[in-house]
A and B are shown apart, each in its own frame.
Chain A
Amino acid sequence: MTTEAKSEKYITTFKQLMEEGRKNGYRLDWLLPRETFGAQINSNAEAGGLLLQDIDRGPFAQIPDWSDNMTGRPRGALVRPNAARVGNYSVRTKADIWLKNASQLYEEAVQRQWSSAVDVPWETMEELPDDIERAECQLATFLTEVEFVAGDVPGKWISETTPDYYEPRMFLISQIMDEARHMDVFRKRAFANGGGLMSQTTNVALSGGAIDSARDFTEMSARLHISGEGLVLSIFRMGERMSYNDAEKAIYRLAASDESRHVAFGVMHLQYLAQTDPQRKEEIHSYLDEIELGLVAGTGGQNPAQRGTPSNAALAILLGGGSDAASIAEGEQIALAVRQRQVKEYVQRVKVAGLGERFENGRANATLAAYVSA
């Protein structure tokens, strides 16, 4: 709830105050109320307290379509003409990074922070058969490696984005925090139960750079949030089936809840872009062409369920319950279902983002359809 801004008489009072202060030798030229002065916000503890999405009004709520903020000032702050131009922001066009609910996603992230030290019941772990433990540790090694991507790359884009678009920046900061925890929790898993780290995945090291290399935020977001994290989210959601104790279940459940926010950010941003800057849709479709190639041919390096990789073999062992041929065969059948689920969820995300026409006009990769109808 907000009350009205106060009237002219306050401004007169401030002028009198300023005059008083000046007689004492102070400058006080900053003591000027903005047009919203006096409009109180009453926070409601039951509705989650004072939330970022509820505070901005008047000039502070005006998000420019193009930002000329080169000094890094908070949005809506008054300009100092002598301030240095420090903000070498390459992201200064609203459609290039905006989404409708970034503040909500940020506040949700704040509320849902968890600790890999104490919120995972590590003590429930008991010794596992050697092949299962090795598979767990291989998957954990893969995941701890790729989580660096999801933290470091958004980090670069935060520093490239004008603070006039602080909401997406804040969300991306919460993502960095989440990814640190993921990197950390999978490393912890590798050491928690008598195992250790295993093998780095070559194609992660080599092609992981695809997300790093993106020259445009939206392209990066499509590769990271929609594709890479989407794939990982589908795996985390299967966590129950590949867990051997409550600690692993907790890890996948907690990580999945973070990951779903990250994916939601990507979908909501793409949706905003598709709606407000439809001229860019063709360009975005061409990124999706590449992404889909990665989905079916495994060129992306971000998919733990990609055939022929150690992480996929590890998944098959975990899902099938052992490293003997029959268990692996069973595990691979389940892993196939995981890949189908990944594709279905990808298709759904692209549709929600407003780019679903590619699945009707024949543009989408044909192999996707085979997965979806399987």
Chain B
Amino acid sequence: MVQQQSQPNVRRDMDGNPVPELPDLSWMDKTLGWGIKARVEPFGGGMTVDALNVGVYAEVPDHIAFRNRLPRGAYPAPGAGSIGGYYLQDKHEQWADCAGLLYEEGISRRWSTATDVPWETAHDLPGDVELAICQVATELSQHASVETEVVSGWLQNLSPGYHEVKLFLSTATYDAARMFEGYRKRGMLNGGGMMLESPGGMNRTIMETYAGWSQTVLGMWFVRNSLDTTILRYLAVYGPSEADRVLAARLIPDRMRAAAYAADHIRFAISKKPELAIGFQVWLNGVEFSQARDLRDPVLTEALAVIFGGSVAGMDEGMKVVRKMLQDFVKMYLSRCKQANLDRSKSLTSGFQFLLSGMAAPPRPQA
């Protein structure tokens, strides 16, 4: 039996029976706002995280003064100091008004690559098409893997005071993980497996964002995500099997949620600190350069040309589709920049202008 602490002055009732000591209940009055009742959304939306921002809890401050895990709106404990990390304490460094909504949407649209893709339809494709799909799968899988590393690594830096952002980023990591395993499964389905790793310039650019989270967002979700989403859109149409089309189509909304957060966040950052736009523009010059350089490597575009053209013999036709796809990629990227109040139409770097012109990735003389 565990020994109970003996009490020197035990209180007793009128019959002499000991009255138990009450624990300290002073916490019962420690609240910054009481009597709150968040409403369940009508039409089956349930209790959403944004619905909690009511009364005194509705305010999302511009700066979080603490570096610990105080839930926003909770009564701060005296003496609670910094536990380290969480150095992004300003709203403009991370916030997007739509983060809470995107979080709930990510959860409500949950799906599984194990059961929601008709994998049995993707057997016995022509060998060249199968290998091309495996090459594209390798690169998409690696892109997603990098994204999981980058987003999950940033969580420790983003203040818990903006929990909606953290919640959304949790779904974003999970979404990227699903793209990673979805394309690994696709690669392995017929034994082709993982082929040649991606060129790595953009991987490095996305990881080397010591400058800040917003810079990460620009590289990862303005540029890389626009490319991946465009590839997925084309695979949703030109995919050689139903499984390939379904896998790509199901991943698109996941990608679009990340893109929506990204545009909203950058727009918010610029609205709070207009001078940030200057640095973002300079940063994007470097990102565009890096992405254009990766695309000059022919592996990804050749594999896509085999898929779109239906065979190695059809690559010339396929390459026309690739050029159109790369044009669409830059258009999507530009529209995201515009949404974010970051006009790139006049500052687009030459590599991206080339992609936009539809002249990119021409058949090249034999290496």
Q: Quick check: A199 and B77 within 8 Å, CB to CB?
A: yes
With a cutoff of 8 Å between Cβ atoms, the chain A residues found around residue B173 in the complex are: 155, 158, 173, 176-177
| Interface size, B (range) | 35 or more
* From B2, B41, B48, contact of A370 by CB (8 A): B2
Q: Quick check: B316 and A76 within 8 Å, CB to CB?
A: no
Q: Quick check: B195 and A155 within 8 Å, CB to CB?
A: no
Taking CB atoms and an 8 Å cut-off, the chain B residues in 170-202 that contact chain A are 170-171, 173-174, 177-178, 180-181, 184-185, 188-201
| Interface size, A (range) | 35 or more
Q: Quick check: B37 and A192 within 8 Å, CB to CB?
A: yes
With a cutoff of 8 Å between Cβ atoms, the chain B residues found around residue A110 in the complex are: 112, 114, 178
A166–B22 alpha-carbon span in the complex (Å) = 50
Closest CB in chain A relative to B144 CB, distance in Å = 10
* From B108, B193, B201, B204, contact of A59 by CB (8 A): B193
Known: A49-B115, A137-B31, A198-B27. A33 touches B131 (CB 8 A): yes
Known: A34-B192, A113-B107. A27 touches B142 (CB 8 A): no
A313–B36 alpha-carbon span in the complex (Å) = 22
Taking CB atoms and an 8 Å cut-off, the chain A residues in 73-105 that contact chain B are 73-80, 82-84, 86
Q: Is the interface of A mostly helix, strand, loop or mixed?
A: helix
Q: Quick check: A77 and B195 within 8 Å, CB to CB?
A: yes
Tell me if B148 is interfacial: C-beta within 8 Å of chain A: yes
* From A14, A145, A191, contact of B127 by CB (8 A): A14
Q: Which of A207-215, A266-274, A277-285, A348-356 has 4 or more CB atoms under 8 Å from chain B?
A: A207-215
Tell me if A257 is interfacial: C-beta within 8 Å of chain B: no
Tell me if B14 is interfacial: C-beta within 8 Å of chain A: no
With a cutoff of 8 Å between Cβ atoms, the chain A residues found around residue B48 in the complex are: 117
Tell me if B252 is interfacial: C-beta within 8 Å of chain A: no
Q: Quick check: A323 and B196 within 8 Å, CB to CB?
A: no
A79–B197 alpha-carbon span in the complex (Å) = 6
With a cutoff of 8 Å between Cβ atoms, the chain A residues found around residue B132 in the complex are: 31
Tell me if B167 is interfacial: C-beta within 8 Å of chain A: yes
Q: Quick check: B2 and A40 within 8 Å, CB to CB?
A: no
Q: Quick check: A77 and B197 within 8 Å, CB to CB?
A: yes
Tell me if A361 is interfacial: C-beta within 8 Å of chain B: no
Closest CB in chain A relative to B325 CB, distance in Å = 17
Tell me if A122 is interfacial: C-beta within 8 Å of chain B: yes
With a cutoff of 8 Å between Cβ atoms, the chain A residues found around residue B203 in the complex are: 71-72, 84, 86
* From B20, B112, B128, contact of A329 by CB (8 A): B20
Q: Quick check: B36 and A194 within 8 Å, CB to CB?
A: yes
A27–B36 alpha-carbon span in the complex (Å) = 65
With a cutoff of 8 Å between Cβ atoms, the chain B residues found around residue A328 in the complex are: 20, 22-23
With a cutoff of 8 Å between Cβ atoms, the chain A residues found around residue B198 in the complex are: 73, 80, 83
> Which 5 pairs from chain A and chain B are nearest by CB?
A159-B153, A117-B46, A205-B80, A180-B170, A73-B197
Q: List 29 A-B contacts (CB under 8 A).
A: A37-B190, A37-B193, A43-B114, A52-B114, A77-B142, A77-B195, A79-B197, A83-B198, A110-B114, A113-B107, A113-B110, A141-B71, A141-B74, A151-B166, A155-B151, A172-B152, A176-B174, A177-B173, A188-B38, A191-B37, A191-B52, A191-B54, A191-B57, A195-B36, A196-B73, A198-B28, A200-B76, A323-B25, A371-B2
